């Protein structure tokens, strides 16, 4: 597969455990946040998004938490599965810049069976 990053932080979890991936964003004007999953050889795949008027949003097995006070975003994955192994990126978007996405460096999630 193709490497998408050097020296990215890595989170290793046991299959079935919950995973929490954290992200600090930089722009206090950002009002839209997205989590993407990228598997080797593929483009980023949308997981879940949240707008700044919310603190929490849930999807299927995933939850995103937003703390605007400390500019922190987290992605929680319940009952992590081997297929969840990938690089996860958070992205922020200040609407004033027309859907410009600013991506974080990414976190590698490794699921051990």
Partner 1 sequence: EAQVTQNPRYLITVTGKKLTVTCSQNMNHEYMSWYRQDPGLGLRQIYYSMNVEVTDKGDVPEGYKVSRKEKRNFPLILESPSPNQTSLYFCASASQGDQPQHFGDGTRLSIL
Where on the chain is the footprint of partner 1 (CB under 8 A)? 2-7, 32, 34, 36, 41-46, 49, 89, 91, 93, 95, 98-106
Contact predicate 33/25, CB 8 Å:
yes
Closest approach, Cβ 19 to partner 1, in A, equals 20
Distances (CA, A) of 91 to 9, 24, 48, 79, 112: 16, 10, 11, 24, 26
Question: Which CB sits closer to partner 1, 69 or 83?
Answer: 83
**Pick from 110, 113, 48, 60: nearest CA to 85:** 110
Which residue, 83 or 98, is less far from partner 1 as judged by CB?
98
Task: Choose among 78, 62, 107: nearest CA to 18.
Answer: 78
Shortest distance in whole angstroms from residue 90 CB to partner 1:
10
Whose Cβ is closer to partner 1: residue 13's or residue 48's?
A: 48
Q: Min. distance of Cβ 17 from partner 1 in angstroms?
A: 27
């Amino acid at each position: 597969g193709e490497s998408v990053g050097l020296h990215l932080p890595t989170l290793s979890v046991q299959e079935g455990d919950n995973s929490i991936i954290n992200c600090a964003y930089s722009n206090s004007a950002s009002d839209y946040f997205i989590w993407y999953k990228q598997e080797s050889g593929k483009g980023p795949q949308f997981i879940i998004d949240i707008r700044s008027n919310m603190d929490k949003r849930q999807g299927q097995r995933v939850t995103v938490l937003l703390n605007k006070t400390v500019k922190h975003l987290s992605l929680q994955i319940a009952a992590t599965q081997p297929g969840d192994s990938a690089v996860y990126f958070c992205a922020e978007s200040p609407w004033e810049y027309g859907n410009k996405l600013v991506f974080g460096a990414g976190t590698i999630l490794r699921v051990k069976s």
